[in-house]
Structure 1
Amino acid sequence: MSLNKTEDLTQILKELKVGSILIKQKSHGEKYVRRFYLDEHEDFISYYQSEKIFAQPRRYYIREIDEVRAGFHALAFGQLLKQHNVHSDDEELAFSIFYNNYRDELHLMANDEQTRCKWILGLQYLIDLYAQKRQGHIIHDTNWILSHLRFGDKDKSNTITKLECQQLLADSLNVELPEDVFEKLFQETDKNGENILTPDEFINFFQVLARRIDLYEIMQKYVENGDEQTIETICMNINELLYFLRTVQNQSILTYSSKQFKDDFTIQPITKREQVQELINEFEPNIELQEKGLLSLDGFYLFDSQLCGDSNPEAFNRVLRSGCRVVEMDCYDGDDGQPIVTHGFTFVKPCLFESIIQFIKPTLFKASPYPVILSLENHCSISQQKEIARILKQILGNQLITAPITTKNSSVLPSPEDLKYKVLIRTVEHDSSDLCVFFETKSFRESDATKNLYFGSHSPSLSERELKQVCRSDPIGLMKQTQKCLLRMYPDGLRQD
């Protein structure tokens, strides 16, 4: 079943609003038959209340859904298969909904494949639609604004109280306003003085809140005829931006003395239009990999803190979908010869290394086609290191880089463009050495004499505290070092955020 026409999609959404019988599966084996439906405003899905007197059906808001996944590709379904609570023949009927930043899961079984397909297609369309609006900053779209009101309206009165509004701003929109500022905005838009906002009043409140009066007032000073322009129309041309960066911000920019020798650069003030253009140029994918700023997250497989909680492969999916291209795994020996991922010497519950690789494979290149680096902090025995290598090769196949790639300059790393849809391994030399092609883990060296011993294939590590020290003592030297190889920083062991 495919969505070739708008009529197909419209019909699917109509059918989802009518609802259909789905089986809600729990990981311990319990199941509940419910009639699930899509809300008429297309803000959430829910199910009709059971016969329990005080039962309150759960709402699963589209805005909170991270992914809809077909089949048994979730840990809960894996457990159900092992316990024989579901049969492998039923995989075409199963799908999972991940929400709340992959922290929560809903596992469902349809009565037939067509019903499952309608739910997956309909939900995916709504998720994509919401994402487009959010990315496009469509703060004037009244339907989008009203979806926030319905989300924050806990008593379902189609209005929002002052307390509900404050909670919505803090919990869902990540907006923290001083009490006096919030009170002023609320009173200005509460026309009836009843301490509640109607839908029209909430739209007005939201649009006033979204205006950056502070930026508008700054731009008015530096834009020609700024006093005559409204907050909706004001903009800076490149000459005005140059003047602002140079005279007000005292902004500086990196300047290279030669295109051939990019290790040789200085920090200079912005004085030319061309320098401003450099700041706003789009991403260039053909530059060598070591010249890219790569985000690496240590301990992101934890849904709680570094000291306690569960390791969960869905946490990897969460950061990969958000665009992270370097993911870290602390690997230890597990039972039955199977390596595990956990946070050493803590109360974190482990997860099988193989399970993580299986679950992240479909997500690796959803956000970007550019390479993913798996940084393995390897504490395994030789036999389980070999098992790690086997798992990576078997599951990732030809996506895994196992041999150097020929480039014009062998002294530098390939560019992201050269490594599209590829996975690279970062580890110490003796661990899975045939997989460690480009990123060999090395200790960080701060002295000038030892810095020159690094090659493009090396990847030094330093602690959060060391990085802060080097940033203060030798920022230019640190930046030059990152021109040669990728640098990894790991957080303080007791960090909780």
Structure 2
Amino acid sequence: MEHDGEQPSNGVVREHELQQPQQHEEDFAKCVELCSEGVTVRRMKRSRLSAPHRVFIKDGRWLCYRSCVLWKFVPMRLKSVEVDNILEVRSGFSTDNLHNAATQYAFREQTSEEMCFSVILTHRRFLHKSLDFVADDSRSKRIVINALQYLIEKKNKERMHFDERRWLIENFHKADINNNGRLSFNEVWKLLKRLNLQISEEYAMAMFMDANTKKTETSNGDGVLDQDEFLAFFERLTHRPELEHALRLFSSIDDAALTVNDLRDFLIKEQQFAEIDEKKVESIIETYETPNHDNRKGFRRLLQSRFGNIMKPGHESIFHDMDQPLSHYYINSSHNTYLTGLQMKGEATVEGYISALKKGARLLELDIFDGDHGEPCITHKRTLITSITLRNALKAIDQYAFITNPYPVILTIENHVGLPQQKAMVRIFNEVLGDKIYIRPENAAIAPLPSPNALKRKYLLRGKKLSSETGRDRQLDQDDDEHPEHPREKPRKIQLLPDFSRLISLPSVKLSSNIYQDIKEHPMDGSPSLSETKVQSL
């Protein structure tokens, strides 16, 4: 969430205080210290640059910046965002806002891509929100990026070693709206709803009254909880008798506690972990045991870690046979990947592709049309959706394609581009993706597809392809639209540039009512698109 903030005392970044960046913790910590004084930047919003101002990091928790306004005579308001809400920091023209600004001559005259960076935030209404900045020099940019990346990594490490008590105290103070050090039931109930706890208000009230041991009341006679009572309230709320049962079941000392040998037996026999020795078990106990040696809390923390996963150990990552033909696998696919909102109006955005790839998608959809300035764009047909350029979309895809795993990415091409811009399309694919594009061999129609392992870090383009006069490739689909604009309109033949057709490695085919005949006649790497109605008819 964003908040208004107060600006710290004046300070500037001195060039001699920042050496060349080194991947050491003390260097990044130095950047955080410099950012607490402030770094001069300009914010870019709606393709306009703000006046120079300072961004700074407050208490290692808040990124503070100036909001942009439409009127020059209105002073910019100081705003802040929690580091917890920052997803990543990007360099260069890496967001839709900067892509659009970069097309304007006036913006390019004022700055260069090397000076731009973006802070990507979580957002309630949108997929993500970006704060786009232009630094005065490369050192200033590097200070902010290094400082934020250091804090993000630090927060991620803290999440791995979750401090429940500190988290509860932080939420207690957030819920204490009037800052009196006590929480009324209404404040507690709002907090529970914000944390998405699925309990009834009556049950929550009963737990609240039990926790109010000091019987403190407001002037209206309503009970309130102080910090210690709130911690006890949460303890009652999260109490799980089945955990005590499991502790006693595996305990050899007739108590709700596990010895080193007990825990080792539990992890091997119940959780199916292999090669767990006593030294490893002692390390686990040291990690998850609470300071006051509360066995129930420690056991609960253990079960919330990877040692309590319902997934079989070793199956967190790819463990399957990845040497079968690609067609033997289910593929994590996305539809209308470039859309993040409504289907009829809104924006096409690179964030849709980035989000899908981060979630593990291996098939993305690109609806490509003739665009401005001689280069194709991506948008949604016959809607009010704004467009993004093909080049920017491919750059974003290539940057994030193989972060989650190295296996191939299929790009489904809905080609609505005329011959002149198809030449530009071929050039853009080759310039951005280059030799990572898998080129279909001559015998592909009669040979099985390569395996995912053989296609690691490759792109397979899926779409219409020119057919041949003989062989299985004569069955390739040549219609432009499977769903014409008017029901009585016949699908029209498309014009395909041979150079673009050569890039297609998964050619489209159409199925008839005789699927067995189709299997015999269609190329082995053919890829049909089927509606639910068509599947039911088969």
Common fold, TM-score beyond 0.5?
Answer: yes
Aligned residue among 71, 93, 96 for 1:72: 93
For 2:508, which of 435, 441, 459 is the aligned residue?
A: 441
Distance in 2, Cα, partners of 1:447 & 1:202: 68
Q: 1:287 and 1:196, CA in 2 relative to 1: closer, same or farther beyond 3 A?
A: farther
Match of 1:482? Answer: none
Match of 1:458 in 2: 526
1:245 paired residue number? none
Is residue 365–residue 411 contact of structure 2 (8 Å, CA) maintained in 1? yes
- Alpha-carbon shift at residue 386 of structure 1 (Å): 4.0
Alignment of 1:368-387 (within 5 A): 368-387=405-424
Query: Aligned in 2, Cα 1:59/1:89: closer, same or farther, shift over 3 Å?
Result: closer
| Corresponding position of 1:46 | 64
Gap change, CA 1:156 and 1:364, over 3 Å in 2: farther
Partner of 2:463: 427
Residue 18 of structure 1 corresponds to 37
Mark the CA change 1:338 to 1:54 in structure 2 (over 3 Å): closer, same or farther: closer
Residue segments in structure 2 that go unaligned for 5+ positions in a row: 1-19, 218-222, 273-311, 467-495
Matches within 5 A, 1:49-448: 57-81=78-102, 82-87=104-109, 90-100=112-122, 103-134=128-159, 136=160, 138-143=161-166, 175-184=197-206, 213=240, 216=243, 229=256, 283-284=319-320, 286-288=322-324, 289-335=326-372, 337-404=374-441, 411-430=447-466, 432-437=500-505, 439-443=506-510
Q: Aligned-pair distance for 1:371?
A: 2.2
CA contact (8 A) 1:426 1:441 kept: yes
Amino acid at match of 2:451: S
Distance 2:417 2:431 in 1: 19
Question: Structure 1, residues 390-424: CA drift from partner, whole Å, max 9, x if none?
Answer: 211121112222244999xx844333332222222
**Code of the aligned partner of 1:398:** D
Amino acid at match of 1:93: M
Q: d(CA) in 1 for partners of 2:423 and 2:182?
A: 61
Question: What is the alpha-carbon distance in structure 1 between the residues aligned to residue 173 and residue 457 of structure 2?
Answer: 40
**Residue in structure 1 matching 2:52, options 29, 33, 51:** 33
The more displaced of 48-57 and 187-196 is 48-57
Q: Which of these two proteins has the greater Rg computed from alpha carbons? A: 2
Pick closer, same or farther for the CA change 1:147–1:370 going to 2, 3 Å: farther
Residues of 1 paired with 2:237 and 2:512: CA distance?
49
Amino acid in structure 1 at the alignment position of 2:144? W
Alpha-carbon separation, structure 2, partners of 1:29 and 1:284:
50
Could you say what secondary structure the match of 2:404 adopts?
A: coil
Aligned-partner Cα distance in 2 for 1:90–1:328: 31
Kept in 1, the 8 Å contact 2:40–2:140? The answer is no
CA–CA separation in structure 2 for the residues paired with 1:157 and 1:166: 17
CA contact (8 A) 1:140 1:207 kept: no
Measured in 1, the distance between the counterparts of 2:532 and 2:189 equals: 35
Q: What is the CA-CA distance between 1:70 and the residue it aligns to?
A: 1.6
Q: How many residues align?
A: 430
* CA root-mean-square deviation: 4.6
Tell me the distance in 2 between the aligned counterparts of 1:335 and 1:83.
15
Letter aligned with residue 433 of structure 1: S
Q: How far 1:455 sits from its partner (Å)?
A: 5.8
1:59 to partner: Cα distance: 2.2
Matched, 1:2 2:21: yes
The separation in 2 between residues aligned to 1:447 and 1:228, in whole angstroms, is 68
Deviation at residue 5 of structure 1 after TM alignment = 2.8
- CA pair 18-222 structure 1, distance change in 2 beyond 3 A: same
Q: Distance in 1 between matches of 2:359 and 2:179?
A: 32
Q: Pick closer, same or farther for the CA change 1:34–1:429 going to 2, 3 Å.
A: same
Which stretch shifts more, 73-82 or 319-328? 73-82
Percent identical among aligned pairs is 24
- The 1-side partners of 2:462 and 2:201 are apart by 48
Contact 2:185 2:224 survives alignment (8 Å): yes
Alignment check: 8 A CA contact 1:23 1:110 kept: yes
State the TM-score, normalizing by the size of structure 2.
0.65
Shift of 1:106: 0.9
